[in-house]
A and B are shown apart, each in its own frame.
Chain A
């Protein structure tokens, strides 16, 4: 069974600074996908970034990048130049082929002006 763990329930960062959110996962599958989703107070869940397990290169999307450590089953999210609009719940998630997406418990990130 897949599991996703986020050990930081809450974090804060100063505007324009960099913050890293941690995530570990467990799966017995060799082919899987990892995601970070953002849920702002408006509650619309948005896909931030996606990583395919068989790709060695870490995914990046503008100010968002991941550090994918496959052997350690670690998938952290780095947010550079934090903005007030980055304040949200962040969920790490994993999915194996044709299976459901499993979400971690989330990290509440506050960006402080």
Chain B
């Protein structure tokens, strides 16, 4: 079966711009989580969506937002980009039903803010 698909793989944006990242989970997975990965801070949780509802939220400013569509695809938006937003953004999907825990990750989107 197809894995988690993240697009685009690479992005270069200018400070002050906004960006939208996309994630298509594994078919049948209703939970989508987003993480920011940087060398200094490691993997930091952004938010989780389950059946179109935000269920968990990390400690990021309001410039970071997301949504999930009825087909479970998710988008993440960052407005007014700052240099510090440069990172690898990882999306992970999960079945989150019964005892099936653990994520399947996408390949990530490498965002560079200049």
Interface of A toward B, CB cutoff 8 Å: 33, 35, 37, 42-47, 50, 52, 91, 95, 98-106
Contact = CB atoms under 8 A, between A and B. Distances in A.
Q: How large is the interface on B (under 10, 10 to 19, 20 to 34, 35 or more residues)?
A: 20 to 34
B102 A47 contact: yes
Contacts of B35: 103
A1 to B, nearest CB: 11
Contact of B101 (A33, A44, A46): A33
By DSSP majority rule, is chain B's interface helix, strand, loop, or mixed?
A: strand
Contact of A47 (B55, B103, B106, B108): B103
B33 A101 contact: yes
Contacts of A104: 42
B42 A35 contact: no
Interface string B78-114: 0000000000101010001001011111111000000
B48 A100 contact: yes
B58 interface: yes
Interface of B: 33, 35, 42-43, 45, 48, 55-56, 58, 88, 90, 92, 96, 99, 101-108
Contact of A103 (B42, B55, B56, B108): B42
Interface centre among A44, A99, A102 (most CB of B within 10 A): A44
A50 B104 CA distance: 12
B102 A44 contact: no
A52 B99 contact: yes
A44 B107 contact: yes
Interface centre among B43, B55, B103, B105 (most CB of A within 10 A): B43
15 contacts: A35-B102, A37-B105, A44-B106, A44-B107, A44-B108, A45-B92, A46-B105, A47-B102, A50-B101, A52-B101, A95-B101, A100-B48, A102-B45, A103-B42, A105-B42
